[in-house]
Amino acid sequence: MAASGETITLELVGARLLALTADVRDLPQRFAGMEVRLGALETRFSSTKARMGALEGRFGVLEERITRLIALVVRIAERQGTPPE
């Protein structure tokens, strides 16, 4: 507002009040914009989580297949009389 020693007029207070009122009216729009952006981020993280879950499932299947393949190779090697290393 005004520096010390200066008189504060009604016009100055009114102008400052109008400026503050405009700033306060602008806040809901800004918060709404932020809420939309955060919602979009939340959606992206949720989809990333779903993708990671799908990848985890795929890796689990691959791990199981590799385990079976290794067991098969070991059985074949045993039948051929190849000593394990």
What pLDDT was estimated at residue 3? 58
C-alpha dihedral (80, 81, 83, 84), degrees to nearest 10 = 40
What pLDDT was estimated at residue 85? 67
What pLDDT was estimated at residue 2? 52
Distant-in-sequence, close-in-space partners of 2: CB < 8 Å, separation ≥ 6:
8, 12
| Average pLDDT for runs of 10 along the chain of length 85 | 72 92 90 94 95 95 96 91 69
What pLDDT was estimated at residue 6? 77
What pLDDT was estimated at residue 81? 83
What pLDDT was estimated at residue 49? 95
What pLDDT was estimated at residue 83? 66
Distant-in-sequence, close-in-space partners of 1: CB < 8 Å, separation ≥ 6:
8, 12, 16
Cα–Cα distance, 32 to 38 (Å, whole number):
10
